[in-house]
A and B are shown apart, each in its own frame.
Chain A
Amino acid sequence: MIPLLLAAGIGGVEGDAPGPGVLETIWGISVVRGLAWSLVAALLVITPMALFAIWLERRLSGKMQARIGPNRVGPEGLLQTLADGVKLLGKESLVPTQADRPLFHAAPAVVFMSAFAMYAVLPWGPDWAPTSLAVGLLFVLAIGSLEAIGVIMAGWASNNKWALLGTMRVAAQVVAYEIPLGISALVPVLTAGTMNVQEITAMQGGGAWNWGLWWAFPANLVAFVLFFWAALANLKRAPFDLPEAESELVAGFHTEYSGMSFSIFFLAEYAAMFVLSGVASCLWLGGWNTGIPGVDVAGMGVWGNLLGAAMVAGKAMLLVAVMMWLRWTLPRLRVDQVMRLCWKFFLPISLACLVWAAAWVSVVKPMLGGNG
């Protein structure tokens, strides 16, 4: 059902040819349609995925802290998140009297929509992609900045000092991580010659040594690591969780949110973790390619696409698990340390990667004669 919908999303636009002087708006339509399909997919696939990720986080943290974690509701506690969700649904959604009501209500919606809109460019299989945007990767980065605006909106509208401090930290963090995030994502774009995530993924067929990770060695390897760290800062995950630092700021920007609006922030965080990991896996880890020579997903029809979707989900979930592992391992950085790390280390290193990738594409690759 869902794959059907996804596949229909990239089908052609039918309809009468427009008259003279009438502008066709095909690109806009295909984006809107991609967003519509990704919303459908969001409700049917991504929400369970996020619920699973929340369960995974709680169980993993339990393991790392030598305790058990939730294990009562459903097998191995798998339904615990669902139970919590139902509980949160039943809770009263409080709005502080001094809060800015319209902004306070709009903020979770902005964060939620932007987290889910990113799924519009995540390819699940050779034939299954909600959209095939030529500017796919830039789209992810653009939507990511929209999400930051939603977070700032939430903190500002709450009219609470903890929330305001969290907001200032978000704003400072956004300008710091966005540049290395964008530049490290440009490295595979430069080596592949396209920003279309689906096309970049398709170039990584065959063995795992063809994956983007090894392109223009070591530029893409380093860029992958940088992208992962900058994505952590984007997701406000430890060690970059200053905007919601619970030991200093109560809960930072979402201090005043309760009930359903809180759970929307929570769900959006896990949805965004999954989609950024998915995009990283498509850029560097082969996406829907299996990495086993001879097992070519592209020629296997529906089953190949299913296998591809499983590959994307598995790789993304693996990266999500690493994020969780880091959260329970590393202490939180200070604000000045985040700034220094992003501006003085991530940025120059990512620029160096970009220069090396450019040199690779223009000088080394023609010399080697291959497409290594």
Chain B
Amino acid sequence: MTPLLAALPPVTVQHYLLLSGLLFAVGLVGVLFRRNIIIVLMCLELMLSAANLAFVAFSRVHGNLQGQVMVFFSIAVAAAEAAVALSIIIALYRARGGVDVEDAAEMKG
């Protein structure tokens, strides 16, 4: 058990940044590929979270709290965004009867 565990590379800031990059890419894939607006919204939140994770990791490495303050604001903005986006989604559902991104393509030239 112990030698196996010892083989794990120690965790550095690089690991957190890699994870953050991967999470961001996963969220991006969701935003680009999914058609349901609610899922697109969730994936946007995921991308925000990924960026936040990088902020917190940097904050830790540099030993100051400014990164964490940034994340605090980012969380506040994400909350506002979710509230507004969901009211738009509900209005869209009322008007169009669906929550697909294609339902909101009326302005397409």
Contact = CB atoms under 8 A, between A and B. Distances in A.
Touch test A–B (CB under 8 Å): yes
Interface of A: 18-19, 21-23, 25
13 contacts: A18-B10, A19-B10, A21-B12, A21-B13, A22-B10, A22-B11, A22-B12, A23-B11, A23-B12, A23-B13, A23-B16, A23-B60, A25-B11
A261 B45 CA distance: 32
Interface string B7-18: 000111100100
B49 to A, nearest CB: 16
Nearest to A19: B10
B90 to A, nearest CB: 14
Contacts of A23: 11-13, 16, 60
Given A21-B13, A22-B10, 5 more contacts: A21-B12, A22-B12, A23-B11, A23-B12, A23-B13
B47 to A, nearest CB: 22
In the A-B complex, list the 7 residue pairs whose CB atoms are closest, starting with the nearest: A22-B10, A21-B12, A23-B11, A22-B12, A23-B12, A18-B10, A23-B60
A19 B11 CA distance: 10
A20 B12 CA distance: 9
A226 B77 CA distance: 29
Interface in B1-30: 10-13, 16
Contacts of A21: 12-13
Describe A's contact surface by its main secondary structure: loop
A164 B41 CA distance: 24
A74 B16 CA distance: 56
A131 to B, nearest CB: 21
A213 B60 CA distance: 38
Nearest to A20: B12
Contacts of B60: 23
Q: Which of A21, A23, A25 has the most CB of B within 10 A?
A: A23
Nearest to A25: B11
A124 to B, nearest CB: 32
Contacts of A18: 10
Contacts of B12: 21-23
Nearest to B11: A23
Nearest to A21: B12
A175 to B, nearest CB: 11
A21 B60 CA distance: 11
B84 to A, nearest CB: 16
A153 to B, nearest CB: 16
Nearest to A24: B11
Contacts of A19: 10
A19 B10 CA distance: 9
Contacts of B10: 18-19, 22
A21 B17 CA distance: 14
A21 B16 CA distance: 12
B67 to A, nearest CB: 14
A23 B59 CA distance: 12
A23 B10 CA distance: 8
Nearest to B12: A21
A21 B13 CA distance: 7
Nearest to A23: B11
A239 B12 CA distance: 51
Contacts of A25: 11
B8 to A, nearest CB: 12
A138 to B, nearest CB: 13
A27 to B, nearest CB: 11
A188 B10 CA distance: 41
Nearest to B15: A23
A25 B13 CA distance: 12
Contacts of B13: 21, 23
Contacts of A22: 10-12
Nearest to A18: B10
A323 B39 CA distance: 40
A212 B6 CA distance: 48
